[in-house]
């Protein structure tokens, strides 16, 4: 791509407030340079009146060259659909996952896709997103929520997953840090310009993330994070990964919004349960009631998100010698008293079984070492 | 029913170890007196060989008269399908709830039904079960589990539900006690004869339950509770009520078995989530993953179990003035700085909206009292 081309993308990335499906549609139709020209000249093909509306406020101000320079100065870059690094497949619907009855318009799909992404960091965003999972939640978690985030993010990093989150305090920060601690890679999708680290207290964390992963924004430099931008950023977190895990989230949580976006693309949503008495788990429980998958271990997340065939291992539990006994065998076993012995006829009466069935089961139980014969009597082995 | 008839039922209630679907089928076919005679004489109609097998061990010993006398002496009674009090409808499949693809044989339905029930207490079992919910769980709950049991059982009792459980230590006992404390009624289904209160430490609790509710056993007096009898008792708890709530249950919990029986009859199964770090919630989480309904409040239980139309109330949450703002209104609101004012043109640029759209939204926001005009500038109201 030449410099003019990249400037066209930079211009388009600022000229409309995302998400702007109509603008994405126009770029798909005529390419970025031509789309930029149309927006500047206020001349649009028929059917693209929505682009005119969406770009009126900012069309006249062209800061593309300055934005590119600014971000280059920060050590970052603009990644566009014309670049190899663009993770196109992450912005397409996961057809297999979307229920066939769901409304599914091209316009809606275009709304999922950013125009371009401002990126800083050593990782390649397409590679990082290939095996990735978003972990999100409240800014004010309980110590339980922090611990679970730590465990899950550490485990998933060790399994080669990129941990994706929003860079906020609380669950987001815990997820990023656990990934780094496990020497995994992580992505922070932020809701303002790359020159405006938010929260400011996470500036150092963002630098560490960028050493192996990336910090990514849909917004050009200088953009201040605002509430609608956080909601909009959630759309990228919810749709750009292989799955979303909500660890803890109270009422009014933005994570509900993240989950809704995920559902629109067919991305699996998992939620971690907690005590029903804890406000921090309210949204998790509601999500599960609404169809999200309850996850209690990281392997269950992998089962939802991972490649086909990565099924959660059955929990291993210690065996007891009487395990697997059922029906007549269990009845005969239970008929034997704790300390004394009984003849077959009495066992038959207690167990309510024919004598021949009792004898068969006694033989089985003896072979297993659970009972022993003592003259004409049978007793428990221990 | 005359004394002979009742003695026939008492004889049949002891002669086979429950569950015994074939014996129930024989009684359905020829009536209790005739079925008892057939078992005594070892002469069965063709196709009832299974009854012969199931009754061989105990056919010769007829303790019917003594059993009836013993239970009368305890202040109890034998309730049979020939009595008005028999809750027949509770042992029929809930057809509407059973998935159409489920295998659904008459034999299986007969296995759900006890031959008869030994009952002690002031309540009528058919009335008590009409609006009822089972609450079950581990014998070793956490304080969280005890608290939730207390809250749910208290609330459900206040709503007129009979609380049904198994009389064990832990969740069972907490559920019974919370029902009594709320002046509600409760049923304990026990796994041994009514003369053998188990656990012995709950003898006083059983007496209190019987003052308004009932203590019920499928087993004649003298029967010792054994492991297979606990499992079998779970079948009654799981199938005789309008729904089952599992509060806390660790590995190897008998509650999984209760839930399986409930599923066979089409009874809704609810489970209370807890911390994923707590062993006491493991089975609850597995049940939810397998399709049980997550419940976090008693009203959600009523929604599953109660009469049609009893839907859980939406949680009430305090409102914020900016609640309900979305799309352009939220973008315009967020464009305004915390302390200073801006002209329409600048708001349009920041919000990425045409000036006419901004003016429209400013008017809306002003009407809501969220912003105010200050000469040519607009600013936040507070």
Task: Check if the beta carbon of residue A192 is closer than 8 Å to that of residue A120.
Answer: no
**344-373 in chain B: CB under 8 A from chain A:** 348-355, 357-358
3-state DSSP assignment of residue A30: helix
If one looks up domain B327-380 in CATH, what number appears? 1.10.10.10
Question: pLDDT band for position B168 (50/70/90)?
Answer: very high
- A36, with CB counted inside 10 A (0-12, 13-18, 19+), is buried
Chain B residues within 8 A of A58 when measuring between CB atoms: 349, 352
Q: Which is nearest to B289 in space by CA: B243, B256, B266, B267?
A: B256
Chain B residues within 8 A of A274 when measuring between CB atoms: 273-276
B289 contacts A293? CB cut-off 8 A: yes
Mean pLDDT, chain B, rounded, equals: 89
Question: pLDDT band for position B194 (50/70/90)?
Answer: very high
Task: Check if the beta carbon of residue B123 is closer than 8 Å to that of residue B105.
Answer: no
Q: Report how far residue A335's alpha carbon sits from residue B145's, in angstroms, rounded to the nearest whole number.
A: 33
Which pLDDT value is given to residue B328?
A: 83
Which pLDDT value is given to residue A375?
A: 82
Question: pLDDT band for position B253 (50/70/90)?
Answer: confident
Domain A63-305 has CATH 3.40.50.450: yes
* Shortest alpha-carbon distance between residue A212 and chain B (Å): 31
pLDDT: is B252 or B289 the higher one?
Answer: B289
ipTM above 0.95, yes or no: no
Question: pLDDT band for position B331 (50/70/90)?
Answer: confident
Q: Which residue has the tokens 């992580």?
A: A186
Chain B residues within 8 A of A285 when measuring between CB atoms: 273, 294, 296
B53 touches chain A (CB under 8 A): yes
- A313, with CB counted inside 10 A (0-12, 13-18, 19+), is exposed
Q: Report how far residue B144's alpha carbon sits from residue B146's, in angstroms, rounded to the nearest whole number.
A: 5
**What is the residue-level pLDDT of chain A in tens, covering all 382 positions?**
889 999 999 999 999 999 998 999 999 999 999 999 999 999 999 989 999 999 999 999 999 999 999 999 999 999 999 999 999 888 876 644 444 444 445 666 678 889 999 999 999 999 999 999 999 999 999 999 999 999 999 999 999 999 999 999 999 999 999 999 999 999 999 999 999 999 999 999 999 999 999 999 999 999 998 888 998 999 999 999 999 999 999 987 888 889 988 888 889 999 999 999 999 999 999 999 999 999 999 999 999 987 544 555 545 455 566 767 777 888 888 888 878 888 888 888 888 888 888 888 888 888 888 888 888 888 888 7
Chain A residues within 8 A of B53 when measuring between CB atoms: 353-354, 357
Burial code of A124-147, b = ≥16 C-beta within 10 A, e = fewer? bbbebbbbbbbbbbbbebbebbbb
* Shortest alpha-carbon distance between residue A69 and chain B (Å): 21
Domain B131-191+226-316 has CATH 3.40.50.450: yes
DSSP annotation of B315: P
pLDDT: is B106 or B19 the higher one?
Answer: B19
Which pLDDT value is given to residue B98?
A: 47
How far from chain centre, in Å, is Cα B227? Answer: 22
pLDDT: is B278 or B261 the higher one?
Answer: B278
Q: Is the pLDDT of residue B100 over 80?
A: no
A269's CB contacts (< 8 A; 6+ apart) are A243, A244, A246, A259, A262, A263, A287, A291, A292, A293
Q: Do A327-380 and A63-305 have the same topology in CATH?
A: no
3-state DSSP assignment of residue B141: coil
* Shortest alpha-carbon distance between residue B348 and chain A (Å): 5
Chain A residues within 8 A of B330 when measuring between CB atoms: 227-228
Please give the structure tokens belonging to residue B329: 């209104």
Please give the residue of chain B at the shortest CA–CA distance from A142. Answer: B275
A281 contacts B273? CB cut-off 8 A: yes
Ordered by start, the domain boundaries in chain B are 131-191+226-316, 327-380
Report H helices in chain A.
3-15, 21-30, 32-41, 49-55, 64-73, 106-112, 125-130, 143-158, 171-181, 203-212, 227-239, 254-265, 282-289, 298-305, 327-335, 344-351, 355-367
Q: Which residue has the tokens 């009536």?
A: B31
A143 touches chain B (CB under 8 A): no
- Bridge partners, A134 (sequence order): A164, A244
B117 touches chain A (CB under 8 A): no
Which pLDDT value is given to residue A155?
A: 97
Which pLDDT value is given to residue A106?
A: 62
- Bridge partners, A293 (sequence order): A270
B294 contacts A289? CB cut-off 8 A: yes
B49's CB contacts (< 8 A; 6+ apart) are none
Q: Is the pLDDT of residue B234 over 70?
A: yes
Which pLDDT value is given to residue A94?
A: 62
């Amino acid at each position: 791509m030449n410099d003019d081309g990249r400037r066209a993308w930079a211009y388009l990335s600022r000229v409309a407030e995302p998400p702007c499906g109509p603008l994405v549609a126009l770029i798909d139709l005529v390419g970025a340079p031509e789309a930029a020209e149309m927006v500047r000249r206020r001349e649009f093909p028929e059917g693209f009146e929505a682009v005119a509306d969406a770009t009126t406020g900012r069309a006249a101000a062209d800061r593309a060259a300055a934005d590119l320079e600014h971000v280059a100065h920060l050590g970052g870059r603009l990644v566009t659909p014309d670049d190899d690094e663009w993770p196109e497949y992450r912005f397409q619907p996961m057809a297999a996952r979307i229920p066939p009855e769901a409304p599914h318009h091209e316009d809606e799909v275009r709304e999922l896709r950013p125009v371009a992404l401002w990126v800083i960091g050593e990782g390649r965003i397409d590679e990082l997103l290939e095996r990735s999972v978003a972990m999100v939640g409240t800014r004010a978690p309980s110590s339980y929520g922090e611990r679970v985030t730590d465990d899950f993010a550490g485990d998933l990093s060790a399994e080669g997953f990129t941990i994706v989150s929003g860079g906020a305090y609380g669950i987001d920060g815990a997820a990023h840090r656990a990934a780094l601690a496990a020497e995994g890679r992580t992505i922070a999708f932020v809701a303002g310009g790359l020159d405006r680290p938010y929260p400011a207290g996470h500036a150092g964390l963002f630098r560490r993330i960028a050493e192996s992963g990336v910090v990514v924004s849909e917004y050009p430099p200088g953009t201040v994070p605002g509430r609608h931008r956080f909601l909009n950023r959630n759309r990228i977190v919810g749709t750009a990964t292989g799955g979303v895990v909500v660890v803890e989230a109270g009422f009014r949580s933005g994570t509900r919004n993240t989950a809704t976006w995920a559902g629109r693309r067919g991305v699996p949503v998992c939620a971690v349960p907690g005590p029903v008495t804890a406000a921090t788990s309210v949204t998790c429980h509601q999500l599960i009631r609404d169809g999200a998958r309850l996850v209690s271990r990281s392997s269950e997340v992998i089962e939802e998100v991972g490649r086909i065939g990565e099924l959660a291992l059955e929990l291993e539990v210690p065996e007891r010698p009487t395990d697997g006994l059922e029906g007549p065998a269990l009845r005969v076993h239970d008929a034997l008293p704790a300390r004394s012995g009984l003849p077959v006829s009495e066992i038959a009466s207690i167990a309510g079984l024919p004598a021949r069935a009792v004898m068969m089961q006694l033989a089985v139980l003896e072979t297993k070492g659970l009972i022993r014969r003592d003259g004409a009597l049978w007793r428990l082995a221990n």
